[in-house]
């Protein structure tokens, strides 16, 4: 669904949000698999060789819905905390470093670009962008087409793209598998966090 005017992120430009340890100098092909569980599904992230790189777990720290992104050893990297409806009409989700929910540990925020939308459009704001007048990253796509593109701000620069193969059994069991391409020098842990938030926004409303 990418237009000819769109281009991948320049090699000289690094997209670091969670950490540079999640960079690769080459394009990365990842698989994000969701498995049903008591916490409404956990996610497993693996590379082309099937090696598990990251896991996402559901945890109950408070009344706030929370998911935690962990490395393969189980160490918490970031926590994704959704603001409760109807306080957040745009389905806002705040992402913090580690298990924190302290404002000083806020990394970024994801929310719908519009309350009502026929296709997916999410805006991502880094913690320093408190005014939120212009987004730092954007996601556009369609659940009908099962394809999404991740952009640098409001530009046509692509940092990643994702697709999901339609399989009726997987959909009924909530076991979707996403195929993700992350461009060089782009923080893949950051991309995975947005994918999890995107998937849960779609499923819960």
Q: What is the pLDDT of residues 126-177, one digit of tens each?
A: 999 999 999 999 999 988 888 999 999 989 999 999 998 766 555 555 567 8
- Run of H or E including 200: helix 188-204
Give the residue from 51, 31, 33, 53 showing the smallest Cα distance to 43: 33
SS3 content of the chain, % helix, strand, coil (to 5): 15, 40, 45
Domains and their CATH numbers in the chain: 26-204 (2.40.160.200)
The token pair at 133 is 């007048």
The token pair at 18 is 């969670």
The token pair at 96 is 């913090």
Q: Residue 164's pLDDT is what?
A: 85
Q: Residue 205's pLDDT is what?
A: 47
d(CA 74, CA 53): 10
pTM equals 0.86
């Amino acid at each position: 669904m990418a237009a000819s005017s769109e281009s991948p992120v320049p090699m000289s430009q690094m997209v670091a949000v969670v950490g540079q340890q999640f960079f690769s100098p080459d394009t990365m092909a990842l698989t994000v698999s969701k498995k049903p569980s008591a916490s409404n599904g956990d996610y497993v992230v693996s590379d082309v060789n099937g090696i598990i790189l990251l896991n996402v777990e559901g945890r109950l720290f408070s009344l706030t819905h929370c998911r935690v992104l962990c490395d393969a050893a189980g160490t918490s990297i970031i926590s994704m905390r959704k603001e409760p409806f109807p306080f957040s009409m745009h389905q806002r989700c705040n992402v913090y470093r580690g298990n924190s929910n302290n404002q000083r540990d806020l990394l970024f925020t994801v929310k719908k670009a519009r309350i009502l939308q026929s296709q997916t459009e999410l805006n991502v704001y880094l913690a320093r962008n408190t005014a939120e007048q212009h987004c730092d990253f954007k996601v556009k796509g369609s659940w009908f087409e099962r394809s999404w593109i991740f952009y640098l701000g409001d530009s046509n620069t692509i940092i990643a793209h994702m697709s999901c193969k339609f399989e009726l059994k997987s959909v009924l069991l909530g076991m979707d598998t996403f195929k993700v391409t992350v461009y060089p020098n782009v923080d893949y842990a950051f991309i995975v966090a947005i994918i999890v938030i995107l998937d849960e926004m779609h499923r819960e409303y």
